Chains A and B, each alone.
Chain A
Amino acid sequence: DQQVKQNSPSLSVQEGRISILNCDYTNSMFDYFLWYKKYPAEGPTFLISISSIKDKNEDGRFTVFLNKSAKHLSLHIVPSQPGDSAVYFCAASFGNEKLTFGTGTRLTIIP
């Protein structure tokens, strides 16, 4: 049972435009959400997180939006840069439970 879903395996965006990556979850207990970025031959690195008490969190070019009623979160990257080309994983957790990851979206920024 995939509790965290990323329905788009890949996404291509032109440099300078906005990249929007989506993630849906089914477990209403989740109260903490994260995005990780992964380059080939490297482990994932933490990008940004959001608590369920918020609906938006920004960090530079990265903004995460959380819609609890729809059980949906999204990551916006503005403007997109070539170095943003990577696989992005969303993840969720609650309490002291483990992180549950999505299947990932491969983002390609076209120069």
Chain B
Amino acid sequence: KAGVTQTPRYLIKTRGQQVTLSCSPISGHRSVSWYQQTPGQGLQFLFEYFSETQRNKGNFPGRFSGRQFSNSRSEMNVSTLELGDSALYLCASSLVAGGSYNEQFFGPGTRLTVL
């Protein structure tokens, strides 16, 4: 069974630009969650989608948005990039929504560098 895939793996952008990251979950998984990982901050939750609906949202500004398509693939978009947005963005898929009793499988991440 193929794992979670994320594209692109690496991305370099400049301040003020916008970026779109893509995540393809494991086949049959309907929930996709996005996290931002920065040194010293651990994994910060961005949002979770289940059956094309956003279920949960973390404490990030409105510049961060996402969506999920009918095939469960998900994209996240960051507009007006800032230097502080440089991070590893991780996507995780699971069968159902929520964190309890529900193993999340992570992709390898997209490393975003903002110059």
Contact = CB atoms under 8 A, between A and B. Distances in A.
Interface in B31-58: 33, 35, 40-45, 48, 55-56, 58
Contact of A103 (B4, B40, B55): B40
B90 interface: yes
A41 B100 CA distance: 26
Interface string B93-115: 00001111101111111000000
Given A43-B4, A44-B90, A89-B43, A97 B99 contact: yes
A102 to B, nearest CB: 6
Contacts, number: 69
A46 B104 contact: yes
Contacts of A93: 98-100
A102 B44 CA distance: 9
A73 B104 CA distance: 20
A99 B35 CA distance: 10
Given A43-B92, A98-B48, A100-B45, A32 B108 contact: no
25 contacts: A6-B42, A32-B99, A32-B100, A34-B99, A36-B106, A42-B108, A43-B4, A43-B90, A43-B107, A45-B106, A51-B101, A89-B42, A89-B43, A93-B98, A94-B99, A95-B98, A96-B98, A97-B56, A98-B33, A99-B33, A101-B35, A101-B44, A101-B45, A103-B40, A103-B42
Interface of A: 6, 9, 31-32, 34, 36, 41-46, 49, 51, 89, 91-104
